[in-house]
Amino acid sequence: MTPEQLRASILQYAIQGKLVEQRPEEGTGEELYQQIQVKKQTLIKEGKVKKEKPFSKNPAYQDYPFDIPDTWKFVRFGELLITRDSERVPVSVSDRNKRAKIYDYYGASGIIDKIDDYLFDDELLLIGEDGANLLSRSTPIAFIAKGKYWVNNHAHVLDACCNLNLNYICYHINAISLAPYVTGTAQPKMNQENMNAIWIALPPLEEQHRIVAKIEELLPYVDRYAVAYEKLEQFNTKFPENMKKSILRYAIQGKLVEQRAEEGTGEELYQQIQAEKQRLIQEKKIKKEKPLAEISEDEIPFDIPESWKWARFSSVIELQSGQDMTPDKYNANHVGIPYITGASNITNGDVLINRWTECGKAFAYKGDVLFTCKGTVGTMAVLQEPKVHIARQIMAIRPIGSISVYYIQVVLDTLVSSLKAAAKSIIPGIAREDILTSLIPLPPLAEQKRIVAKIEELLPLCDRLRK
């Protein structure tokens, strides 16, 4: 239950007579109603208050909205309250800006400014007359104004007699939907006629006081709950992503699956890869890379199993950078090979194709990792198309020899944050050297496959936590 739902439940219980017990010695709502009618008629005859406008006879307003205790009475809003709307005076923003800021200036949703004079010096109930908040209820629609203040023509001003508890009426209005009493959608408005038709569940006066006291006792606990709830929401929002990061971190540290002696070592795999790389260089299928510095102890970020080996990416992959094309070199008519331009072409590991070209130069092939290196950095997919052309925003990372492309993808996923941090360009981007010089912890091939299988088993659980 959200804090808003809990707060609404407390108010609903309050106006339905379920928050405090009924006490016979406190009388009935009917008795209080009769006292209010006598007092109001006296004030009207004496000219101290104006006779209220009749309430709307709209058939939608005729039925009681919920059950109440036998000692309570449903009463129309206009029968209980004294309207003082005629005393309101609007003041334009430009005029207010010329005046000293001393007294609160109220509008439909509460205090909106200050002004150098006041219209009221009583504790009164204000209810928004117009505005989207009547329906959206993003803030309370009813509120108590105290002291000296000014009210414009966007809030109804209500007084009470016979010591009617205005706080109870305020909570009551904030507990119910005002939608039936509101006209207009583009410019929602609740006029006096409709407002006076609202049903108020009227308890005896002493019970009103006890209800208000109980609400005010409980609402601070709701506020505390809201703070805890927000923290929990933040935790729940971050937890799935943090769990995913932990799984990937455990994977590349050799802590996700056990090591098996019969599967060999990372060193043996590394030597096989180097032999394959030399063969491809001799056959001129790949270019010879410049030799890179040996890996120093200071570069090693964490411990790995003894059967694994640290290597630079340049020693186990071939990297193809992309090239942009001018609009006249590609089409949307399925002519040529697919042209992959950036992160917008990669969604949830799938490659979306919406452009084609007959002038391809920078090729990626089936089984390559497409890695976005400009703009939205770090989006990846393993290419399933036989052959595509890639734009400058993408690199194609191609494993050499017997190394799992999906394991490479796992390692890259853990490196994205540090690669971004190392980027020297103002526009987010990763240079090819950033990838080639990065370290990869290399387990035996069979263990790589088991790691990938375990990740594929666990990551869907993280996705479920987001729902």
- Reported confidence tier of residue 137, pLDDT bands at 50, 70, 90: confident
Q: How far apart are CA 230 and CA 238, in angstroms?
A: 12
pLDDT in tens, 197-227: 999 999 999 999 999 999 999 999 999 998 8
Q: What's the confidence (pLDDT) of residue 428? A: 66
pLDDT in tens, 384-425: 999 999 999 999 999 999 899 999 999 999 988 887 776 655
Q: What's the confidence (pLDDT) of residue 349? A: 84
| pTM for this prediction | 0.59
pLDDT in tens, 259-314: 999 999 999 999 999 999 999 999 988 888 777 788 999 999 999 999 999 999 99
Q: What's the confidence (pLDDT) of residue 311? A: 95
- Side-chain-side CA neighbours of residue 363 (13 Å): 11
Cβ atoms of 127 and 156 within 8 Å: the answer is: yes
Contacts of residue 429, defined as CB under 8 A and 6 or more positions apart, other chains included, come to 373, 374, 375, 377, 423
- Reported confidence tier of residue 466, pLDDT bands at 50, 70, 90: low
